[in-house]
Structure 1
Amino acid sequence: MKTIISKIRITAFLLMTIILSQKVFANAAQPGIWNAGGTVYTMLYPEDANTFKKIQMQQERIFIQLYKGFAVVKGTYVFKNTTNEHLQFKMGYPVNGIYSGGENDLNQIILDSLSQFKIKANNRWLPLFNENLSEYNEDYDNINAFSDNWKVWEMQFTPNEIQKVAVYFIVNTNEAIVRKGYNIEKRNAFIYLLESGSVWKDNIEKGNFYIQLMEGLTPKEVQGISDGFGFKFNTLHQIFSGEKHNFSPTPKDNLIVNYSKYNENFSFEKKVDQANEWFTKIDQMSQLPFETLIFSDIELGNPYKVENTLEGALPGLLTLFVIFAPFIIGLILVSILIWAIVKWIRLKKSNHHGK
């Protein structure tokens, strides 16, 4: 009888272990896009906090050229000093780190993927310098810096001045992972984090966003693009065009493009060596007569979509098991108990007849 009771205990223990392990599986991954190429700039110093709300971003035009494995970006902005004061402040980004944005779905950028960044204001290139910022080596807003080394530049505005600012950079998009539950796909993905633009005074009056497919990429290879931009497509130049008006950016405004399959033989370093060539091409793109181009409606997919796999179905199956586990355990225990009682009665009768 002791042996039977011991077996019942072991069975119950194993079943409860499986149930409790479901909690570990459920917290294993946040849905969204991880390790995408992109960038984010942040204001660095608390003493500059009041300055940010005195500068208004009146307009931004973002030009993106997507290649297999990387993206080239040019952003042009119109800023206005809304005061009679002389303003100056610093901006920057960590050389090594990640930015985790988004809402329900993660929008994570690897800042290490950012390369060849340069910025000019009123047609004058601004110097970039390194700063050792150990105080920001942990979490700074949504940024997690992995080293003390930051790239920094300084902005200056005379009273009521309007400045035209342009930035250029190249990012590695080939390391992205799109996941939902345990369904995972390695893809190319680019994220432009509009949410970081909420620091400026008032709303952004107008934003134009242009995405051009390069190296023979086609719309069929684009898994999905964020909605909320009203994107349309020009077949001649293979360009998506979208816009926003009078908006204060939030995580839902982030521009996400999930495109092209992962290329294990891709070398980002070789592409960076041709930076001047890529910047020349994106300058040419930015000078296209967009107002005269014909754009047509196009169906955009979900950038967070992931194909279902057997491994991805595991959490759901475990959840169903947890729901029905009490009934299963009860049935097993009752069955074992009935078997034990019948066995015990038979043994007792056998011993009785033996006498």
Structure 2
Amino acid sequence: MKKIVSFFGLFLIIVFCCSNVSQPGIYNSGGTAFSMLFPEDSLAYKKVQMQEESIYIQLYKGYAVVKGTYKMVNTSSEKLSFRMGYPINGIYNGGDHHLNQVSLDSIYKFKVKSNHQNVEILKSKFEDTNEVMTFNNDNWLLWKMNFLPKSINIVEVYFIVNTNNAQITKGYSSANFNVFTYLLESGKVWKQPIESGNFIVELKDDLKLENIQGISDHFGFKRVPNKEILAGSKINFSPKPEDNLIITYSETVENFNFETVLQNEVTLYHSIDILSKTVLPFNLEKFTSNNPYEIKTDALAYLPMILTLAVIYLPVILIGLLLFVIFRFVYKKYKR
């Protein structure tokens, strides 16, 4: 009987320890989202339309450089003034059919222009007040925007992200790749729809398109002939979690020195400016890749199923053992 009790106790310990499986998803991904923040600005939310957005991404070994160009239209007859922001880091639900989370790492060397004029950036941290948060994050890069009635503002942003710290998890399996994330779903706060979205991805550092492990497939990415460039687009859409752009590529770089990368800010931004001005040909070629959330599973990935079966059948086994012990005890006593 003592052996049975000991076995049952050991089983409970195993279940308790193994039940803390990581939330499936992508963690510490390099990337960001674009949103508004304050409740007093909320009346402006649906008066400004992000009519067009063009996102240029250059993927390097261990990091990515991004330029975003947004055509923002004040559709009202009012003068609008509000604060806009980029979250420095935070957590979003992923767009895969499984429940996923995407955890964003920090962004660096952030710059913003409005109608080609530099805009002052204020890095802010908010306490637990009544700010309108689009996701779990209290660190933002903010700037003030002013719109004349029926006017258009061209907003340009530049930033660098570390893609080398990412981890993809699914069940008990995990993999370490470089991961870049651009979360379109944050654009849902603007007046809808976004009429046009263009997404250009270029691989640098001698990386090839074949080094892409997985990429979101709802952008219709095609490759530019004889170049390591992908072009994708979306039209007339109201962004949802499944519209987010996730790219997994290359291998984790050992002893990666990100500080050295940040010292090359001027050169890197010049390079992405060149990409943003490049006219792409019409004869693009087909490109296919894997689901960025998919990773190879190991034996531990089947552990939850094994534990579930054990929980279902263990009571039956224990009752059977208990009946056997009682029967044996009664039998021996009767035999005497």
TM-score (norm: length of structure 1)? 0.86
Structure 2 counterpart of 1:140, from 128, 133, 146: 133
1:215 aligns with 2:209: no
Structure 1 range deviating more: 316-325 or 135-144:
135-144
Count of equivalent residues? 334
Q: Distance in 1 between matches of 2:229 and 2:282?
A: 10
How is 1:253-272 mapped onto 2 (pairs within 5 angstroms)? Answer: 253-272=243-262
Corresponding position of 2:102: 108
SS at match of 1:277: helix
Is contact 2:34-2:87 (8 Å) kept?
no
Structural mapping, 1:144-223, within 5 Å: 144-145=137-138, 150-223=140-213
Of 21, 38, 61, the residue aligned with 2:31 is 38
Q: 1:57 to 1:41 in 2, by over 3 A?
A: closer
CA distance in 2, matches of 1:138, 1:155: 18
Does the 8 A contact of 2:39 with 2:131 survive in 1? no
The answer as to whether partners of 1:233 and 1:240 remain within 8 angstroms in 2 is yes
Other structure's SS at 1:100 match: strand
The separation in 2 between residues aligned to 1:138 and 1:25, in whole angstroms, is 37
Deviation, structure 1 residue 219: 2.8
The residue that corresponds to 2:84 in the other structure is 91
Out of 313, 319, 334, the position equivalent to 2:308 is 319
* Conserved 8 A contact 2:164-2:252: yes
Deviation at 1:343, TM superposition (A): 4.4
Distance 1:344 1:69, change over 3 A: farther
Equivalent of 1:76 in 48, 69, 90: 69
Q: Which consecutive residues of structure 1, in runs of 5 or more, have no partner in the other structure?
A: 1-5, 349-355
Match of 2:283 in 1: 294
**3-state secondary structure, aligned to 2:198:** strand
In 2, distance between residues paired with 1:331 and 1:220?
Answer: 56
Larger radius of gyration: 1
SS at 1:205 equivalent: strand
Q: Which runs of 5+ in 2 are unaligned?
A: none
CA contact (8 A) 1:232 1:298 kept: yes
Distance 1:15 1:151, change over 3 A: same
Following TM superposition, by how much is the alpha carbon of 1:307 offset from its aligned partner in structure 2, in angstroms? 1.1
Q: 1:138 & 1:166 partners in 2: Cα distance?
A: 25
Task: Point out the structure with the larger helix share.
Answer: 1
Mapped partners of 2:113, 2:10: distance in 1? 60
Which has the higher mean CA deviation after the structures are superposed, 221-230 or 187-196? 221-230
CA 1:340 to 1:223, structure 2 compared with 1: closer, same or farther past 3 Å?
Answer: farther
Tell me the C-alpha RMSD between the 2 structures: 2.4
TM-score, normalised to structure 2's length? 0.91
Q: Which amino acid aligns with 2:111?
A: K
C-alpha distance in 2, partners of 1:137/1:275? 36
Contact kept? 2:23, 2:101, Cα under 8 Å: no
How far is the alpha carbon of 1:21 from its aligned partner?
5.5
SS for the counterpart of 1:340 is: helix
Structure 1 residues 318 and 167, CA gap change in structure 2 (3 angstroms): same
Given that 1:92 and 1:152 are in contact with CA atoms closer than 8 Å, whether structure 2 keeps it comes out as yes
Following superposition, the deviation at residue 137 of structure 1 comes to 10
* Aligned amino acid, residue 202 of structure 1: Q
**Contact 2:122-2:143 at 8 Å conserved across structures:** yes
Aligned to 2:292: 303
Contact 2:81 2:147 in 1 (8 A): yes
Cα gap change, 1:19/1:188 in structure 2, threshold over 3 Å: closer, same or farther? same
How many angstroms does 1:249 deviate by?
0.4
Counterpart CA distance in 1 for 2:38 and 2:218 is 32
Hey, what's the Cα distance between the residues in 2 that align with 1:218 and 1:21? 44
Give the C-alpha shift of residue 287 in structure 1: 1.5
Q: Contact 2:37 / 2:133 at 8 angstroms: preserved in 1?
A: no
Query: Which letter maps to 2:51?
Result: Q
Match of 2:318 in 1: 329
Residue in structure 1 matched with residue 122 of structure 2 by the alignment? 129
Structure 1 pair 107–208 and aligned structure 2 pair: CA distance change class (3 A): farther
